[in-house]
């Protein structure tokens, strides 16, 4: 029987309190942050959250929202009843969720006998890559689903090993509780209702049993059948909704299998690099040029597979831990590696919020290397590491304070981020800084000429300056790209009306109403145009 590794903390609650304290200190600046991009869609302008009777469609209609994650929307619904649209409460809850995840992770690692359990958990708490998941209210998805994922894992381990750890001599078969198994399965389903990337949990459990026992018993596989069934069901639903609800279809997602294989290999190394050297951190990373005919791009997946092979060959010499860590990382982030369409991949193939849970594998690997290299000096290196991570997190949090900070920082680090250029233009429109807004709309269009929203907003900005001819040119360009863009016809009609072309304006308003019969603005403008036309005839 393997022995439990020693701990630097003789009293467990001191270790837990230490984790909580360093996390709260590092994330204190987030209390000054507000709402940012996509928070309107998921929270501030979401009628299912702001309306009291919104819970029923959230749970019973899978197409009521862009993604079917009703547990997240329900948490927002409950908070809205408590403090309305004050961002402070939502940020506090996100930080508390991240703190709870850190504590549960620490207890899991202790239970599994990981030597650097506290250090791994502290690095998880403070790593600046996780700022996006914590400081961006919309990414409650990672935090709440991660909480139930970790609870499910911990509960299952306590079900299968009723002792104090997997090293316990207590008979596991005699004392297993069916109630704990049911609770674990319930927590897993809750995790899936929060974010379907957690569907990898049953594979993680099998991997952990292989790590600790060098085998996977048939009993464990049988216990995992309901988990696999639930995970597969939710994953299939999410893949379908990403296409039909989110709109992850079309040329921007038209990758071959080999393209996706290359994306996955490159993304794996990208995340490893970011967790070892987290600079620069960008909300929208540059889009990669993927070309299956370029030989060197195959080096990314090939070298990652080679790493797995080497760790497999060396498993008897160095132990199964390193291989387990890298397989956990790759397997947990598999759904976000590009094999399936994700709407965000329209902007970038990688993102800081994708590897929230998967990062545990990287941190375990790094901690293992540090432990071997530093020996008795590990506490000194750990303190220096955590101070560095905490400092970087403290600096990263203000990036998510508001839309201006977010998009300005993104453009500074990635000027070709067309979405950031466009959204910064929207920020300036809201501030009535029309010239600055048009500057960024034009930059977005230089990067992505077929971006209808940027064309439309540029046209609107020109219209406010009464440059009707230039505005009409933009509207015409939009219709060539997206003929069903109903708002364009209305504003086009307004521009024509300003030029005195009443009959042409009437035609555009009628087209808008044909596409959207309840379009109140178009109906009112049509009345004005007709009255103007009648006045001219008189």
Q: What does the pLDDT look like over 216-267, one tens digit per residue?
A: 989 999 999 999 999 999 999 999 999 888 777 888 888 999 999 999 999 9
- Residue 8, domain member (yes or no): no
Same domain, 392 and 332: yes
Residue 130, classified by CB atoms within 10 Å of its CB into exposed (0-12), middle (13-18) or buried (19+), is buried
**What was the pLDDT predicted at 183?**
96
- Separation of alpha carbons 151 and 147, rounded Å: 6
Same domain, 50 and 101: yes
Q: H-helix or E-strand containing 362?
A: helix 359-374
Same domain, 245 and 206: yes
| Torsion angle of C-alpha atoms 125, 129, 133, 134, degrees rounded to 10 | 50
For residue 99, how far is the Cα from the chain centroid?
A: 18
Same domain, 62 and 188: yes
Across all residues in the chain, what is the average pLDDT? 92
Same domain, 303 and 364: yes
Q: What is the pLDDT of residues 48-91, one digit of tens each?
A: 999 999 999 999 998 888 889 999 999 999 999 999 999 999 99
- Residue 5, domain member (yes or no): no
* Domain boundary residue, one of 378, 400, 422: 400
CA angle 348, 350, 351 (to 5 degrees): 100
Same domain, 489 and 427: yes
Q: What is the pLDDT of residues 258-291, one digit of tens each?
A: 999 999 999 999 999 999 999 999 999 999 999 9
- Residue 9, domain member (yes or no): no
* Domain boundary residue, one of 341, 374, 400: 400
- Residue 329, domain member (yes or no): yes
% of the chain residues with pLDDT over 90:
82
Same domain, 336 and 411: no
* Domain boundary residue, one of 344, 369, 400: 400
Q: H-helix or E-strand containing 83?
A: helix 70-83
- Residue 3, domain member (yes or no): no
**What was the pLDDT predicted at 536?**
58
Give me the number of domains the chain comprises.
2
Residue 164 has pLDDT above 80, yes or no: no
- Residue 10, domain member (yes or no): no
Q: Tell me what the mean pLDDT of segment 287-312 comes to.
A: 96
- Residue 464, domain member (yes or no): yes
The pair phi, psi for residue 340, each rounded to 5°, is -125, 145
Q: What is the pLDDT of residues 354-398, one digit of tens each?
A: 999 999 999 999 998 888 888 888 889 999 999 999 999 999 999
% of the chain residues with pLDDT over 70:
95
- Residue 461, domain member (yes or no): yes
Say if residues 409 and 399 touch (Cβ distance below 8 Å): yes
Query: Higher-confidence residue: 329 or 14?
Result: 329
Among 109, 58, 130, 49, which residue's Cα sits nearest to residue 393?
130
Same domain, 174 and 305: yes
Domain range enclosing 194: 17-400
Same domain, 390 and 432: no
Say if residues 105 and 56 touch (Cβ distance below 8 Å): no
Report the CATH number at residue 439: 1.25.40.10
- Tell me the three state secondary structure of residue 235: helix
Residue 537 has pLDDT above 60, yes or no: no
Say if residues 449 and 466 touch (Cβ distance below 8 Å): no
Same domain, 383 and 411: no
Q: Tell me what the mean pLDDT of segment 429-449 comes to.
A: 96
Residue 453, classified by CB atoms within 10 Å of its CB into exposed (0-12), middle (13-18) or buried (19+), is middle
Residues 6 or more apart from 138 whose CB is under 8 A from it?
36, 37, 38, 39, 41, 42, 43
Say if residues 224 and 205 touch (Cβ distance below 8 Å): yes
Residue 486 has pLDDT above 90, yes or no: yes
- Separation of alpha carbons 32 and 6, rounded Å: 40
- Separation of alpha carbons 315 and 173, rounded Å: 28
Same domain, 257 and 216: yes
- Separation of alpha carbons 485 and 394, rounded Å: 42
Same domain, 387 and 412: no
């Amino acid at each position: 029987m393997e022995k439990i590794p020693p701990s630097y903390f003789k009293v467990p609650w001191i270790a837990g309190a230490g984790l909580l304290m360093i996390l709260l200190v590092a994330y204190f600046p987030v209390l000054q942050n507000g709402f940012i991009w996509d928070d309107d869609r998921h929270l501030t302008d979401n009628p299912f959250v702001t309306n009291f009777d919104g819970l029923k469609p959230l749970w019973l209609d899978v197409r009521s929202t862009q993604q079917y994650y009703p547990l997240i929307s329900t948490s927002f619904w409950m908070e809205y009843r408590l403090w309305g649209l004050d961002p402070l409460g939502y940020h506090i809850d996100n930080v508390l969720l991240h703190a709870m995840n850190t504590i549960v992770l620490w207890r899991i690692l202790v239970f599994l006998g990981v030597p650097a359990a506290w250090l791994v958990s502290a690095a998880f708490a403070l790593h600046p890559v996780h700022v996006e998941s914590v400081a961006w209210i919309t990414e409650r998805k990672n935090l709440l689903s991660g909480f139930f994922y970790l609870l499910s894992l911990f509960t299952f381990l306590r079900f299968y090993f009723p002792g104090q750890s997997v090293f316990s001599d207590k008979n596991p078969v005699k004392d297993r509780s069916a109630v704990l198994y049911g609770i674990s399965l319930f927590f897993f389903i809750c995790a899936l209702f929060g974010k379907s990337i957690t569907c990898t949990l049953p594979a993680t459990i099998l991997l952990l049993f292989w790590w600790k026992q060098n085998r996977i018993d048939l009993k464990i596989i049988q216990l995992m059948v309901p988990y696999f069934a639930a995970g597969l069901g939710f994953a299939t639903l999410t893949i379908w909704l990403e296409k039909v609800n989110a709109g992850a279809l079309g040329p921007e997602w038209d990758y071959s299998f080999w393209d996706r294989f290359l994306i996955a290999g490159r993304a794996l190394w990208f995340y490893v690099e970011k967790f070892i050297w987290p600079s620069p951190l960008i909300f929208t990373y540059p889009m990669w040029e993927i070309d299956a005919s370029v030989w060197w791009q195959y080096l990314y997946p090939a070298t990652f597979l080679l790493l797995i092979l080497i760790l497999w060959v060396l498993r008897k010499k160095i132990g199964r831990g390193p291989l387990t860590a890298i397989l956990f990382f790759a397997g947990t982030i598999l759904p976000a590696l590009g094999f399936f369409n994700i709407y965000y991949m329209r902007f970038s193939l990688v993102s800081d919020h994708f590897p929230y849970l998967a990062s545990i594998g990287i941190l375990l690997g790094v901690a293992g290397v540090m432990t071997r290299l530093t020996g008795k000096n590990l506490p000194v290196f750990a303190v220096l590491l955590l101070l560095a991570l905490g400092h970087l997190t403290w600096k990263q949090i203000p990036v998510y304070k508001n839309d201006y900070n977010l998009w300005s920082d993104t453009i500074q680090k990635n000027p070709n981020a067309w979405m950031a250029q466009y959204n910064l233009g929207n920020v300036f429109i809201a501030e009535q800084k029309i010239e600055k807004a048009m500057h960024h709309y034009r930059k977005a269009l230089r990067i992505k000429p077929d971006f209808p929203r940027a064309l439309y907003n540029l046209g609107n900005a020109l219209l406010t300056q009464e440059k009707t001819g230039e505005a009409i040119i933009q509207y015409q360009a939009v219709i060539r790209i997206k003929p069903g863009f109903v708002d364009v016809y209305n504003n086009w009609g307004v521009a024509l009306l300003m030029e005195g072309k009443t009959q042409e304006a009437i035609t555009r308003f009628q087209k808008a109403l044909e596409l959207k019969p309840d379009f109140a603005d178009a109906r009112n403008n049509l009345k004005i145009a007709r009255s103007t036309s009648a006045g001219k005839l008189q």
